[in-house]
Chains A and B, each alone.
Chain A
Amino acid sequence: MEDVEHIPKKVKLIDEKGVRLDGRRFDELRPIRIEAGVLGRADGSAYIEWGGNKVLAAVYGPREAHPRHLQDPARALVQCRYNMAPFSVSDRKRPGPDRRSVEISKIISEAFSAVVIKEQFPRTSVDIFIEVLQADAGTRCAGLTAASVALADAGVPMKDLVTSCASGKIGGVVALDLNKDEDNFGEADCPMAVVPRTGDLVLLQMDGHLTYAEFQKAMGLSLDATRKIYEMQRDALQRRYSTTLEEILKEPVAPAQGRPEGSTDSIDSEFDMDLGGAGGP
């Protein structure tokens, strides 16, 4: 959104054959890769690469809500902080929240409030942190999609995952998932987020100029795309937890070897041996 210097003003964003600058057609997503459980400290985390976007999401909680006066005696708070690293854009962004990131944080918090089963955790807060490491338009959609996986990774009860995508208009054509150049020079951008199981829209924004018919076309593209992204989110979680299960099953077969005495591992294996002894014949 910020840097415009390297593109001439009258660039053709989509040619006569319907091919975009990066070679995609109007209804194609950029490549997406999602990984769950990437950070050690956080209760849940996820990493997403979406075209040129690189975004990390982490979840802490439900934990004691801070500041305390915000605590709700009936339900948990869902608080999101969306933040861009200073080096994530071509002109260095000054560290700390600006008006744009405060707004995005607010609408993402509200989107997740719709799916988290907050009544189970009164007086607590579910804290979602989204860090944009490299930006290429569509960071809020990428962040929201990753944060959703991070919430599931943290074991926070939800009605469903939330899946997000944007569509817009470039060179007079309604197109899916705009990249940075398309976002800078296009006519409209419309990010949305949906609860795939129910079809409820939990985030919707639009800027630019769309006719009602174009809006419906854009929403159609986004909804189709979220079905694909939803599968990628589920796949990331399955990959994460199927591996862990394999590891758990492997554990008793291979006892800790070559570790120093008194390490945490050998304490664990002593514990295992005790259990084995008690259950033995």
Chain B
Amino acid sequence: MSEEIVSELMRQYVYRLAKAGQRADGRALAEPRPLSVQTGYVKTAEGSARVKFGTTEVLVGVKMAPGVPYPDTPNSGVLSTSVELIPMASPTFEAGPPRPDSIEIARVVDRGIRESKMVDVSKLVVTPKEKVWIMFIDIHVLDYDGNLFDAASYGAVAALGTTVVPAKTHGLGDDFALPVEHWPVSVTTAKIKDLLLVDPSLDEERMADARLTVTTDENGDIRAMQKGLSGSFTYDEVKRIIETSQQVGASIRPLLHP
């Protein structure tokens, strides 16, 4: 994703600003961009959300289908998350099979939802060992202006929160709302030299040395983490990032559920 070249002028500009506690779009260093979430956007999906996070835009659809459970979890529904970085969203995205970038995003989003036990998968069993509900979360990136990890995660969580399981259509009883129990929120921080910036914009992301995504639940407990890029964090930095992620997460959580 970071195939675009960042000019030295832009690097210096962003760093100089951040050193003074400022950012090009007027935010504070620990401030995410404005988030708007529109659920129920796609009528053909069982749950959906269109998320605008700054100018990054993501559309998430949840489809439910009956299927066979994994042999090691015969009494659980199945979660399947995929991200498509469609070439519409950025001049650097190309059509084709999923590449490492999109697989990483999908897995980090998946992990946040799975490990927080957001959905009670034990209630998605039709016949143990034979038939369970499969949740397909498809994340469609429409406009890429940085920090897809969080935009994708917010879209997926908001879409799951509105999902109705279409049991009637499949002759499996009455429709029911997906059993959602927790609300994980991921917050991504980028490190540029010695500075930490929450929710990096595209320019900030492209010059970041390291990246840390922290997913916390409503109790502030950590449910998933992912460090990325070739730079490193000190332990003190990691602790600061987690504390910020808890605070930012708490401010974002109310926007994700109706």
Contacts and interface: CB of A to CB of B under 8 A. Distances in A.
A87 B26 contact: no
B22 A262 contact: yes
Nearest to B87: A129
Contacts of B44: 87-90, 134-135
A54 interface: yes
Size range of the chain B interface in the assembly = 35 or more
B143 A41 contact: yes
B97 A131 contact: no
A84 B42 CA distance: 13
A96 interface: yes
Nearest to B27: A260
A264 B13 CA distance: 10
A86 B22 contact: no
Contact of B63 (A54, A92, A131): A92
Interface stretch (A55-63, A166-174, A234-242, A269-277): A55-63
Contact of A134 (B25, B43, B97): B43
Interface residues of A, number: 39
Interface string B21-63: 0111110000000000000011111001000000101010111
Contacts, number: 102
Given A39-B143, A88-B42, A88-B44, A261 B86 contact: no
B16 A262 contact: yes
Interface string B68-82: 000000000000001
Nearest to A47: B142
A107 interface: no
Contacts of A69: none
Contacts of A262: 13, 16-17, 20, 22
A52 B43 contact: yes
B205 interface: no
B6 interface: no
B140 interface: yes
Contacts of A30: none
Contact of B97 (A63, A85, A90, A96): A96
A87 B156 CA distance: 13
A6 interface: yes
A5 B57 CA distance: 33
A13 interface: no
B87 A85 contact: no
Contact of A95 (B26, B57, B62, B82): B82
Contacts of A90: 44
B68 to A, nearest CB: 16
Contacts of A54: 41-42
A94 B59 CA distance: 16
Contact of B42 (A42, A87, A95, A259): A87
Interface of B: 13, 16-17, 20, 22-26, 41-45, 48, 55, 57, 59, 61-63, 65, 82, 84, 86-91, 94-95, 97, 136, 138, 140, 142-145, 169
Shortest beta-carbon contacts, A-B, top 7 = A87-B61, A87-B45, A92-B63, A129-B88, A58-B88, A86-B138, A40-B55
